Amino acid sequence: MEEERALVLGDFIRIFKKQIKLILLITILSTFLAGILSFLIIEPTYEAKSTIVVGKADRGSNDNPKYQFDDIMMYKNLITTYAEIGRSASVAENASKMLKDVSTKDILDSIIVIPKEDTQLIEFKVQNENPQEAYRILNAVCNAFMEEGERIYSGQNIKVIDGAKIPEEPIKPNKLLNIAIAFFIGMVVSMGLAVLREYMDNTLKVEEDINKYLGIPVIGVIPKDVGKY
């Protein structure tokens, strides 16, 4: 069993050595193309983020309203409802009116609303190819959400705890990851093609092939003389 395994492994090594030019060509080409796409063609995408807390409105002179256990549980249960409000077309439409130059559809396509599980927090994200535009849209969406949330559930306290900042680095494309994936795929594909190419080639090239594939012992060899008699 070990001899058969060594023979199979040896065959693969022989094939890869024989087809090394093909393997290198495809691997380098795929890696190069991934680099071109990541650095020169694919537009970078920026993401602005903001976190909003939904809580109990202050009904007294104290700025910090007191929470009962039932209040906390209620807001935790309501947080998914508030998240759906944040994703709603009405919020996007109001944000579009604030911005004046961004359509409701574009806002709906770029906004991501994530309710934080077991908390009273909602995270808003906006992705855009322009970092300033992502920041501007996010602020409008957050303001529209707070207005809409207070209109639907009057008397609630909805406020921003982590304000938006203009993103400095794009979140995608991940250039190094793309290049690494392309290198790996190129190497795997090229090795597969090398094995397939060898498998499809049924010509006998050396003496050992005659004995190996036909089971016929080699009696003699006729030398190939390129010279003239």
Asked whether residue 61 falls in the same domain as residue 134, the answer is yes
Segment 92-130, tens digit of pLDDT: 999 999 999 999 999 999 999 999 988 889 999 999 999
- Same domain? For 155 and 138 the reply is yes
Domain count, the chain: 2
69 and 117 in a common domain: yes
CB-based contacts of 169, cutoff 8 Å, min separation 6: 46
Residues 73 and 115 in one domain: yes
Shared-domain flag, residues 74 and 18: no
Residues 34, 139, single domain; the answer is no
Structural domain for 15, as ranges: 11-41+174-214
Same domain for 74 and 33: no
pLDDT in single tens digits along all 229 residues of the chain: 444 444 477 788 888 998 999 999 999 999 999 999 999 999 999 999 999 998 766 655 455 555 565 666 776 778 889 999 999 999 999 999 999 999 999 999 999 999 998 888 999 999 999 999 999 999 999 999 999 998 998 877 889 999 999 999 999 999 999 999 999 999 999 999 998 888 787 665 566 666 666 666 766 666 666 555 4
Closest CA to 148 of 222, 211, 69, 54: 54
- Are 57 and 71 contacting, i.e. CB atoms less than 8 angstroms apart? no
> How many CB atoms within 10 Å of residue 83?
19
| Domain co-membership, 52 together with 152 | yes
Query: What number of CA atoms fall less than 13 Å from residue 185's CA on the CB side?
Result: 12
DSSP lists the bridge partners of residue 51 as 123, 162
Whether the bond between 170 and the residue before it is cis, its omega within 30 degrees of 0, is no
